[in-house]
Amino acid sequence: MPLVPPTVPDALIVRRVLDGDTEAFALLVARYSDRCARCATRIVGNREDAEEAVQDAFVRAYEALGEYRERDRFYAWLFRILINQCRSVVARSARRELTFPDVEPDAPETFQPSELRTVDDSLADRDRLERALGQLAPEQREAVVLHLGEELTYQEMAAATGAGVSAMKMRVARGVARLRALLTEVYCV
């Protein structure tokens, strides 16, 4: 994938695509695909479903590119699309689980402090955080990932999710509190 100099504004690339240079869309994909994949994986909980959501989000973004307004950050606009795709993937996954009620998902593993000492601390911390994120309610996980992980403002989060700013603040606050509790449990085991 082509590397995009950070100095080329997203709006300029969008204009190039809309003017007929469809190849220029690859520049936006290159610029944001890793970030979208990271966010989607954290929201949906697994890499395969996240890849599907990201791919669908870029297709939908390309199809709706004429609706993008330069006053918005392109990334925030793209994230509105990505969030909707993640929600669709989570809903499909939930329906699949209902279809096969005898198959139970694996119980989340608990870590023993002695086991963690043998693992690189930064990787162990990341793994603990990912597991804790997976235990949050979907709306809280989504809000925490968007605000703390992707650094979207509450206004951008509200626009991306369709929820109000106060609702997003509450989801982040509750999600962070729950994360603290979950991570404290891991260290106290």
Ordered per-residue pLDDT tens for the chain, 189 residues: 455 566 789 999 999 999 999 999 999 999 999 999 999 999 998 899 999 999 999 999 999 999 998 877 898 899 999 999 998 888 876 665 444 334 344 434 343 444 333 334 555 667 788 888 888 888 998 899 888 888 889 998 888 888 999 999 999 999 999 988 888 875 554
How far is the C-alpha of 96 from the C-alpha of 99, rounded, in Å? 5
Interatomic CA distance for residues 168 and 170, integer angstroms: 5
Token pair 């989504």 is found at 142
Count H helices, E strands: the chain?
Answer: 9, 0
